[in-house]
Amino acid sequence: MQLIFEKSRPGRCGFSITRCDVGQEAKIPSPYLRKKECLWPEVSELDVVRHFTQLSQRNFSVDTNIYPLGSCTMKYNPKFTEKAAGIRGFADLHPLLPQLDHSLVQGALEVLYHMDRLLSEITGMDHFTLQPLAGAHGELTGVMLMAAYHRSKGNKKTHIIIPDAAHGTNPASAAIAGYDIVTIPTDKKGVLDLEALKKHVNSQTAGLMLTCPNTLGLFDSDVDKIAAIIHDVDGLVYYDGANLNAMMGRARPGDLGFDIVHVNLHKTFATPHGGGGPGSGPVGVKEHLSRFLPISRVIKARNGSYALDYDYPDSIGYIASFYGNFGVILKAYAYILMLGKEGLKEASEHAVLNANYIMEKLKAYYDLPFDRRCMHECVFSASRQEKKGVHAVDIAKFLIDQGIHPPTIYFPLIVKEALMIEPTETESKAELDILAQALIAAAQLADDDPARFKDLPKTMPISRPDEVKAAKDIRCNFFA
């Protein structure tokens, strides 16, 4: 197979579009051609097996222990999804195989086409691109869509509004797309301060990015009012869907007034992530934005066959090579089909129930800055323990010794000494009790003998890194 890369050309909306297709030979510039033969390592099969087996044994994962890392949705990834992704007809596909060959790629295109429809149904949007390779990449794609919309209307927009509770990727994505960031504080109820929002919204507002429920695990019941305020100035409302696990099957961002959403397939729809695998951050839009979506897009012809369509002159262009992380999309597709409509709803209900169970169990031991019903995660503060010299990071180290992955700490930034716990729906009550018991033991030790935290963890092959040195000198050996 030979490749042709067409020269980048500016798309109508200002972003460059590169098109790649099957055809003539690719001309690799001579500076990039290898001069000498490549030397591969020479190792036996046994060496390789031992190396990777030992690496796998060092891995801390959802398959080995509870992993309540807040905002990351480290739920159990059922093995049937791996089976689906391992089917040879999928796993052995090459992205440049001819589209119309029914024996080869029509099935893969059908999966992409149906995934677009399924995600649209789940989120209440009209069309999706499956190409973004992670949540943050979805955000950047979403903000580029916003920019394309405003350019097409001749709107002069300079800033994007983001709450102070947002994940750091939100302002980063908006800034990379060329916007200024306007930060809105969180109010006493733990949601966006509506009065502050009204003061900052003006004709320069391109849009707002909102995580819902937010990173405090709280649902903002003013979300429709927020959307209306932004729409009044012809801004667009972006839904950071990293927390969709709290409401899938129960509420749809599209019905709440959002124009653009991204979904973290690797969080909500069960794929190993973080150190364990790649992500996928599909972006969905309402009809009026669909002409800006990245190319290629999968279409279904009248005769029932599927094809990749590049003919969208207003598109923001390519944002990833080929068609996204197909293996991740496939696993999420298998997961959605296996759970079905009722199963997805039940998953989110159990995620919320489990988080509230943990919250109630720990309330007496840790400060709870926003004491109200939470969604799929709850955020405590170790400020009470801090008075004894025990910080959130010390509690995290204590948990490592109990075989428990620590919760997210020091995030969201607006909570001092934050401990952000997301148990997910896949943990049993027995496991939740073990987690709660370990955190209660940490709180009691902080009361009785705070000095004991200083050299934790004790069960790891390496001792605690010098964090000050690590922060000040990036070249330093962490574990020296």
Ligand X SMILES: *Cc1c(COP(=O)(O)O)cnc(C)c1O
In this structure, what token pair is assigned to residue 265?
């397939």
Under 8 Å between Cβ of 120 and 126: yes
Query: Is the omega angle on the peptide bond into residue 120 within 30 degrees of 0, that is, cis?
Result: no
Nearest to ligand X of 190, 281 (CB atom): 281
Which DSSP symbol is given to 201?
A: -
Minimum distance from CB of 456 to ligand X (Å)? 27
In this structure, what token pair is assigned to residue 249?
């099957």
Minimum distance from CB of 32 to ligand X (Å)? 30
Nearest to ligand X of 11, 272 (CB atom): 272
User: Would you tell me which residues interact with ligand X (CB under 6 A)?
Assistant: 71, 134-136, 167, 169, 211, 215, 240, 242-243, 264, 279, 281
Nearest to ligand X of 170, 385 (CB atom): 170
Query: 460 to each of 114, 250, 402, 443, how far by Cα in Å?
Result: 46, 42, 11, 22
Minimum distance from CB of 270 to ligand X (Å)? 14
* 3-class SS letters over 276-338: HCCCCCCEEECHHHHHHCCCCEEEECCCCCEEEECCCCCCCCCCCCCCCCHHHHHHHHHHHHH
Minimum distance from CB of 441 to ligand X (Å)? 28
Nearest to ligand X of 137, 397 (CB atom): 137
Nearest to ligand X of 264, 348 (CB atom): 264
Task: Name the residue number minimizing CB distance to ligand X.
Answer: 135
Nearest to ligand X of 325, 354 (CB atom): 325
Query: 156 to each of 149, 150, 173, how far by Cα in Å?
Result: 11, 7, 19
Nearest to ligand X of 104, 172 (CB atom): 172
What is the three-class DSSP state of 77? coil
Please state the separation of Cα 389 from the chain's center in Å.
34
Minimum distance from CB of 135 to ligand X (Å)? 2
Minimum distance from CB of 240 to ligand X (Å)? 5
Minimum distance from CB of 139 to ligand X (Å)? 7
Minimum distance from CB of 271 to ligand X (Å)? 11
* 3-class SS letters over 365-389: CCECCCCCCCCCCEEEECHHHHCCC
Minimum distance from CB of 211 to ligand X (Å)? 5
Contacts (Cβ under 8 Å, ≥6 apart) of 343: none
CA dist 384 and 237 (Å) reads 38
Nearest to ligand X of 169, 381 (CB atom): 169
Minimum distance from CB of 299 to ligand X (Å)? 27
What is the three-class DSSP state of 267? helix
CA dist 320 and 131 (Å) reads 6
Nearest to ligand X of 336, 445 (CB atom): 336
Which DSSP symbol is given to 227?
A: H
Please state the separation of Cα 383 from the chain's center in Å.
29
Minimum distance from CB of 338 to ligand X (Å)? 22
CA dist 395 and 439 (Å) reads 8
Nearest to ligand X of 369, 450 (CB atom): 369
Sheet of 408-409, strand order: 378-381, 418-421, 408-409
Under 8 Å between Cβ of 329 and 108: no
Nearest to ligand X of 136, 260 (CB atom): 136
